[in-house]
């Protein structure tokens, strides 16, 4: 009943207005506000500041700076495997993309074509491929890194809703990850094409990439950017973006391109750089 009420409430509240309001508090540099916000958050979620380059909670210019804090060198070793986790978090789901559908939760799935912006040609390589959905909780490190080396070919900003992306909402909202605001990043890798989708969520005030800075929010219309004339190549483990407040990363690969490690299952905890697939 509690989960049902939580999901219902998200249909009736002003998702974007609330998220932008929280975004203002998260970006303010007013010392009293940002210090109170940071200290309460760190205490509530048990944030481990010993692994952060800046350990002093009052040294951050804003809550966003604290939330997207950089880690000390060596805090996240990069495994010597074909594919590593792009973020701290937990596996929401993983497996085969069957007949172009991505499994979300029991009784719910969504179209990989819709997830990637609605273009069937763009989605075609992934129709029978593999995917994993990684949920970043509030306590996690929120920079997103490359699971393997890749060259950026195209990004697609897709406007949408801002439902929460926690397990309760994943079980209660149809097509959650294909209806929320998101940034689709298409890479070419040594393993073939890879789609890396950064999904926005309730009170996520922005999505940033290392090549464009803050990308979301944008005007509420789809935007496509190609990079054929400007080579942006990122190595495995290199930072590619970050969330200002928590969210989800969805990875898609063509058929037979990867094989997930046997120990990686739904609900498995992950650390950025951890071995994910061969």
| Residue whose entry in the numeric block shows the structure tokens 């029978």 | 128
Instruction: Tell me: cis bond preceding 202? Omega within 30 of 0 counts.
Output: no
The strand pairing partners of 189, in sequence order, are: 150, 192
Q: What is the enclosing helix (H) or strand (E) of 158?
A: strand 150-158
Answer yes or no: is 81 within a domain: no
Tell me: do 100 and 30 sit in the same domain.
Answer: no
Tell me: do 96 and 204 sit in the same domain.
Answer: yes
Tell me: do 166 and 202 sit in the same domain.
Answer: yes
Structural domains of the chain, count: 2
Structure tokens at 215: 């990308």
Whether pLDDT at 23 is above 90 = no
Whether pLDDT at 180 is above 90 = no
Tell me: do 39 and 123 sit in the same domain.
Answer: no
| pLDDT tens track for 116-157 | 999 999 999 999 999 999 999 888 999 999 999 999 999 999
Answer yes or no: is 207 within a domain: yes
Tell me: do 187 and 53 sit in the same domain.
Answer: no
Catalytic residues: 88, 145, 247
Tell me: do 59 and 95 sit in the same domain.
Answer: no
Question: What are all long-range contacts of 117-121, with beta carbons under 8 Å and residues at least 24 apart?
Answer: 117/156, 117/158, 117/184, 117/222, 117/224, 118/158, 118/222, 119/156
Answer yes or no: is 54 within a domain: yes
pTM of the model: 0.88
Mean pLDDT of 105-110: 82
Tell me: do 41 and 175 sit in the same domain.
Answer: no
Tell me: do 34 and 95 sit in the same domain.
Answer: no
Answer yes or no: is 63 within a domain: yes
How confident is the model at residue 213, as a pLDDT?
A: 82
| pLDDT tens track for 187-216 | 999 989 999 999 987 665 578 899 988 776
d(CA 166, CA 201): 9
Answer yes or no: is 273 within a domain: no
CB atoms under 10 Å from CB of 30, counted, come to: 11
Distances 91 to 5, 135, 136 between C-alpha atoms, Å: 25, 6, 9
Cα atoms in the 13 Å half-sphere on the side-chain side of 148: 23
Report CA torsion sign: 236, 242, 248, 253: negative
Tell me phi and psi for residue 123, to 5 degrees. -85, -15
Domain of 217, in residue numbers: 87-256
Q: Which residue has the higher pLDDT, 80 or 203?
A: 80
């Amino acid at each position: 009943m509690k989960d049902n009420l939580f999901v219902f409430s998200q249909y009736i509240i002003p998702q974007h207005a609330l998220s932008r309001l929280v975004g203002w508090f998260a970006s303010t540099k007013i010392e009293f506000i940002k210090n109170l916000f940071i200290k309460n958050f760190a205490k509530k979620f048990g944030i481990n500041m010993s692994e952060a380059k800046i350990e002093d909670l009052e040294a951050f210019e804003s809550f966003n700076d604290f939330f997207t804090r950089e880690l000390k060198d060596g805090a996240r070793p990069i495994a010597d495997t074909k594919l590593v986790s792009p973020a701290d978090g937990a596996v929401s789901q993983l497996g085969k993309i069957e007949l172009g559908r991505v499994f979300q939760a029991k009784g719910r799935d969504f179209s990989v074509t819709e997830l990637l912006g609605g273009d069937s040609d763009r989605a075609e390589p992934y129709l029978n491929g593999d995917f994993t959905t990684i949920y970043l909780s509030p306590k996690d490190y929120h920079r997103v890194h490359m699971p393997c080396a890749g060259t950026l070919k195209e990004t697609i900003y897709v406007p949408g809703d801002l439902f929460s992306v926690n397990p309760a909402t994943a079980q209660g909202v149809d097509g959650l990850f294909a209806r929320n605001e998101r940034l689709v990043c298409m890479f070419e890798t040594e393993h073939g094409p890879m789609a890396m989708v950064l999904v926005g969520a309730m009170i996520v005030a922005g999505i940033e990439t290392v090549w464009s800075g803050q990308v979301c929010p944008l005007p509420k219309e789809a935007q496509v950017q190609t990079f054929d004339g400007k080579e942006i190549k990122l190595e495995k483990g290199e930072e590619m973006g970050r969330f200002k407040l928590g969210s989800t990363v969805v990875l898609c690969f063509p058929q037979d391109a990867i094989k997930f490690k046997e120990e990686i299952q739904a609900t498995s905890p992950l650390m950025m750089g951890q071995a994910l697939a061969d």
